[in-house]
A and B are shown apart, each in its own frame.
Chain A
Amino acid sequence: MGQVNRRVVLLGGAAAAAGALSPPSWAGTRTANAAPPIRDPFQLGVASGDPLPDSVVLWTRLAQAPLNPDGFGGMPDATYDVEWELADDETFGSVVRRGTVATSRAQGHSVHVEPAGLDPAREYFYRFRTQGHVSPVGRTRTAPAAGAAVNRLTYCFASCQHWEEGWYHAHRGIAADDPDLVLFLGDYIYEKPSGRGPELRVRGLAVPDETTTLALYRARHAQHKTDADLQRAHAAAPWLVVFDDHEVVNNWNATTSPATTARKAAAFQAFYENMPVRSTVKPSGASIRLYRRFGWGGLARFHLLDTRQFRSAQVGDCAGMRDPARTITGSAQERWLLDAFGSHPATWDFLGQQVFFAQRDNDGSSATCGYSDAWNGYEASRDRITRGWVERGVPNPVVLTGDVHRHWAADLRQDYFDHSDPIVGSELVTTSVTSTSAGASPPSPEWYANNPHIKYCQGERGYVRVTATPAQLRADFRVVSDALERDPAKVTIGTDVSFLLDAGTRGLRRA
């Protein structure tokens, strides 16, 4: 009964009906598994991600007791064989790929499958089975072939989901939007319990200790994956995921403070185990190849950046923040990005990344500097990247951002102090799924006057939905009426404002 109910949640009535029947393709198979018997280990749901034209990552993680403080999810220290199936239909009448993979404690009993040879631009359904337990069904899709004409792409992007600070209505909204893709731009977990008062906390961490060990990171990730709305959003579409700082520790950087090498290694391992990412992202100790690129036919490219692992330590003074020797990307990633700017295979170039890209200037004076953890704190990096896409003629650059717990829309310039400097791109910043901003007030008219490139700010919870066509981009800034209210019937999810961007022109305009 539990299985059927979860399918209802994930995919609606048709799938539930299928779940009540014997799955046709697995009905006659036998498995002899020497591992100790377990209860239903699919408590963390299923996910998919990193779609290519011929492949997409299928993910699950076995955990019969997901909140156990040792991070093992109640799984015995044994190897479990997990069968997987990929089908054209959600009732699995037409299975196109299947296989079996083994998983053990070394990878937190996580499963990452990368089926190859799939058709481009196709919807698929997938599920897993072990020891007679069948997972919920997920839906995914492959990317269009390189250069293929694509009429339309809809994706949602989100960030910052402190477990305690609200309900994941934003994820319910994302699933309901039926997007082709979902981007998550960081702060999927937080290393510490919320510091907010009880009126701003709706639930608690089962293992509240600061995440300093692999066991604690694993337990923290696992608790997040027990959320029904988050499971629903993962099962609805493939995700492109990057981390920001709180997946490790607040404001970490390339040095060993505040994150030691051991702590980075533990955090990266748990991140890999719990995310639907490719084996290319599998960490080696305190090193992880998070930055990577995905194409969506001739319509879009996603450059997923890592602005944490290679960044110089944060500084507070203007001279330091403008020091050309400092970097937020590291030189190898910067080269990788600039090289890509030299080719133009798609209409839209989306830079999916973590922290505020556009300048924010509180007083209109270039003699003062602020926001040292964002690109503001690495001005030379921002200048090199911006100049790079301008000089290489990138047709339509759009930066996608999380981190700041408020919606923002901004145009991008090479010299923000010159208010007549040409606009060279745009930035869409998503608010948080749940994380709150202490003491944040709306920007004043004076502040906007100092930052005329910034068009919009909204302090509610939500996500951004983007619809891109060859001619135009539309960004719907989605807001949740009350992330502290659990009852979905009492919560509305709607569009606060929409911005348009015409292909081949510069500058956001309100829809």
Chain B
Amino acid sequence: MTRGANRRPAGRALVLIAVVASALAVAVPPAAAAVSGTVRTAGDPLTVRRAASTSAAAIGTVANGTTVSIDCQTTGTPVSGTYGTTTLWDYVPSLGGYVSDAYMYTGSDGQVAPDCGVGTGSAQCSTGQCAGEARFRSSDAHFVVYDRVPDGKSGVAAYWTAGGAGPFYAWNSGGSGTSAEHAVPGLEPGDWIFYKVCVADRAADPDLRACSAGLTDYVA
């Protein structure tokens, strides 16, 4: 309820922006409708993960009681925490990744932020043990692809953009524990990109395995 009251002025601002933009007949990028949440654990810090899975790489922690800005939410592996069991994960750009909504006070058990991605970056990992992980950086249209398991396979992001071609591939064939950057060519601010993260042998026509469901993000 408190959260709702806090959001109302922001909502009005959005409508105003939309009207002005309409008058100019300019495309309106949706403003980042971030909501805030507060970490509530039994006292321990909460693990921040690169992707929305308990198998994803732990990339940091956030202290109990910290209030953060949640850009978007996505479903991942289930977690039981302070607020029950949920498959919802919260993307917190300031932390560089995802935290389980089971430990986040948002005022609601349901989804309070848009689906990821919203043009501020996102990440996914391959199914199972998250052997492949990839982050899409909206700010400069780059993938960072991680290989986390010595399974003899590469981590890869398979992606599609407007126009009808794809998939294109962002590979990491550097072996377990490495990361690789991949610039996505030809994109302009606002363009969409749909990607899945998989494991595969690097090849022109790879046999993609353990692919994530895929999501659409945008270039900032």
Point out residues on A near B: beta carbons under 8 Å: 1-3, 22-23, 26-33, 36-40, 43, 64-69, 74, 76, 131-134, 167-168, 198, 201, 203-204, 206-207, 223, 226-230, 486
Contacts and interface: CB of A to CB of B under 8 A. Distances in A.
A22 B190 contact: no
Given A22-B25, A131-B18, A198 B204 contact: yes
A37 B30 contact: yes
B163 to A, nearest CB: 5
20 contacts: A30-B19, A31-B22, A32-B15, A37-B14, A37-B30, A37-B33, A43-B192, A64-B216, A65-B215, A67-B160, A74-B115, A76-B114, A131-B22, A132-B28, A134-B27, A203-B166, A204-B158, A204-B166, A206-B214, A228-B164
Given A132-B27, A206-B194, A30 B162 contact: no
Nearest to B118: A39
Q: Chain A's interface: helix, strand, loop or mixed, by majority? A: loop
B30 A206 contact: no
B163 A226 contact: yes
Given A27-B23, A39-B29, A69 B213 contact: yes
Contact of A30 (B14, B22, B31): B22
A165 to B, nearest CB: 13
B42 interface: no
Nearest to A22: B25
Contacts of A230: 164
A174 to B, nearest CB: 15
Interface of B: 14-15, 18-19, 21-31, 33, 114-115, 119, 158, 160, 162-167, 188, 190-192, 194, 196, 204-205, 213-216, 218
B164 A201 contact: no
A108 B30 CA distance: 21
A132 B21 CA distance: 6
Contacts of B115: 74
Contact of B192 (A64, A69, A76): A64
Contact of A203 (B19, B164, B204): B164
Nearest to B115: A74
Given A2-B188, A207-B214, A228 B163 contact: yes
A2 B191 contact: yes
B134 to A, nearest CB: 16
Contacts of B30: 36-39
Of A132, A167, A168, most B-chain CB atoms within 10 Å: A132
Residue of B25, B167, B215 ringed by the most chain A CB atoms within 10 A:
B25
Contact of B27 (A2, A22, A32, A69): A2
A116 to B, nearest CB: 27
A38 B115 CA distance: 12
Given A23-B25, A226-B163, A33 B218 contact: no
B139 to A, nearest CB: 17
A67 B15 contact: no
Contact of B28 (A74, A131, A206): A131
B21 A2 contact: no
Given A37-B18, A230-B164, A30 B23 contact: yes
Contact of B218 (A31, A39, A228, A486): A39
A204 B166 CA distance: 6
A399 to B, nearest CB: 31
Contacts of A23: 25
Contact of B194 (A39, A68, A133, A229): A68
A73 to B, nearest CB: 9
A74 B167 CA distance: 19
Contacts of A2: 27, 188, 190-191
B4 to A, nearest CB: 15
Contacts of A486: 165
B18 A68 contact: no
Nearest to B214: A69
A73 B115 CA distance: 12
B82 to A, nearest CB: 28
B22 A29 contact: yes
B27 A40 contact: yes
A306 B158 CA distance: 38
A207 B166 CA distance: 12
A36 B114 contact: yes
A21 B114 CA distance: 33
A132 B194 contact: no
A39 B214 contact: no
A27 B24 CA distance: 7
Given A40-B190, A132-B25, A230-B164, 4 more contacts: A33-B18, A68-B214, A206-B160, A206-B214
A197 to B, nearest CB: 9
A22 B24 contact: yes
